[in-house]
Structure 1
Amino acid sequence: MIDFVEPFWSGFSGIVIGIGLSAACGFRVILPFLGLSIAAMNGYVSLAPEFQWIGTWPALIAFATAATLEIGAYYIPWMDNLLDAVTTPLAVAAGTIAAASVMSDVSPFMKWSIALIAGGGMAGAVQTGTALVRGMSTVSTGGLANVVISTVELAGAVIATTLSLLAPIVAFTAAIIIAIWVIWKLLHRRAGVS
């Protein structure tokens, strides 16, 4: 029994952690990689062989610098909307990479299929939701509430990253709920129903 459970849990936990990190990439593109780098350097998470570089000092310094710039840029009134336009495709790519980076016990085909579909899809769904909220805020408040939205998104990225690494099942469940909510909102928005 143990011989079956260990490989299953190892592969499953990588998938669950990856999808949670992907959701965090929908809030902020770089911050989840900073958390992943810290976790990998401290032995809390195993990285796939081709992503071992994420757990190095140069990567940690680069992620910390980029995350600081990304966080600060979202507090500049006109820059936040510009970043939403740029980061939507980047979030999908980052979500795909984040998911693949922690899946070491699955075949390459399965890893990249899950990473692209579930990881990239999750990051894209969350990013689309945040872009919609920011767009509505800009229209309704002239951008005055965007600072609050940026703070909530930052908190979402920190919480999603932390939960993904420390309580992956909780993060996975929350990510699925968020994705369903975003899809529901998009479908009802297109149908003209609030």
Structure 2
Amino acid sequence: MLLGVSLSAASGFRIFVPPLVMSIAAQAGHLELAPGFGWMATQPALMMFAAATVLEVGAYYIPWLDELLDVIASPVAVVAGILATASVTGEMSPLLQWSLAILAGGTAAGLVQGTTDVVRLTSTIATGGVANPAVSTVELVSSTGLTLLAIALPLLTGILVISLLVYAGTRLRGVLRRRA
């Protein structure tokens, strides 16, 4: 479960980086996917995730397009987080698997995505978008690093991610209250 939450949080930074790394790790035998998710370890899925990752990462370096992507990415990141958690939960009843994926994975991805939206909007307002490529780079490195760390050290990463999510949720709530 901690692996799923960590991968979901990484999906909040970049939607397609975690599935790409998961596909590579599953093909290399470093990640066991839940029943029904074996397709993620196929060559066509790997190529699709690679192409989607390149397009997503590149688009975030185009100043006006990055803000548009944030609008689209928010709900998609939640879905990606749900799928990331469901894909690694192992053998359990489908009701429990999907309930945990929705509650834990969707929430983790949504909190991270919401936090990145606030950071990007703040960057756009403060710098006119000049600093947004730096923000994009930090998000890419965070997503990649978190995904790799989650696969290598799921227990440690999960505890770290949950702690950071609680902190980020508290901060995000404070920012939203001030804006209201």
Both proteins in one fold, TM over 0.5: yes
Is 2:157 the partner of 1:171? yes
Is 2:146 the partner of 1:160? yes
Check the 8 A contact 1:126/1:178 in 2, yes or no.
no
Q: Which SS does the other structure have where 1:32 is aligned?
A: helix
Q: Which SS does the other structure have where 2:84 is aligned?
A: helix
After superposition, residues 57-96 of structure 1 pair within 5 angstroms as 57-96=43-82
Larger C-alpha radius of gyration, 1 or 2? 1
CA shift, 1:187, in A, is 2.3
In structure 2, C-alpha distance between the alignment counterparts of 1:144 and 1:169, rounded to whole Å: 38
In structure 1, C-alpha distance between the alignment counterparts of 2:142 and 2:46, rounded to whole Å: 21
In structure 2, C-alpha distance between the alignment counterparts of 1:21 and 1:41, rounded to whole Å: 17
Is 2:8 the partner of 1:29? no
Write out the 4+ residue segments of structure 1 that deviate beyond 4 Å after TM superposition. Answer: none
Check the 8 A contact 2:35/2:90 in 1, yes or no.
yes
Root-mean-square deviation over aligned CA pairs? 1.2
The residue aligned with 1:106 is 92
Gap runs ≥5 in structure 2: none
Check the 8 A contact 2:6/2:150 in 1, yes or no.
yes
Q: Name the amino acid aligned to 1:163.
A: L
Q: Which SS does the other structure have where 1:50 is aligned?
A: coil
Q: Name the amino acid aligned to 2:142.
A: G
Q: Name the amino acid aligned to 1:157.
A: S
Is 2:174 the partner of 1:188? yes
In structure 1, C-alpha distance between the alignment counterparts of 2:127 and 2:176, rounded to whole Å: 23
CA shift, 1:174, in A, is 2.4
Check the 8 A contact 1:37/1:55 in 2, yes or no.
yes
TM-score by length of 2: 0.96
CA shift, 1:45, in A, is 1.1
CA shift, 1:98, in A, is 0.6
CA shift, 1:163, in A, is 0.8
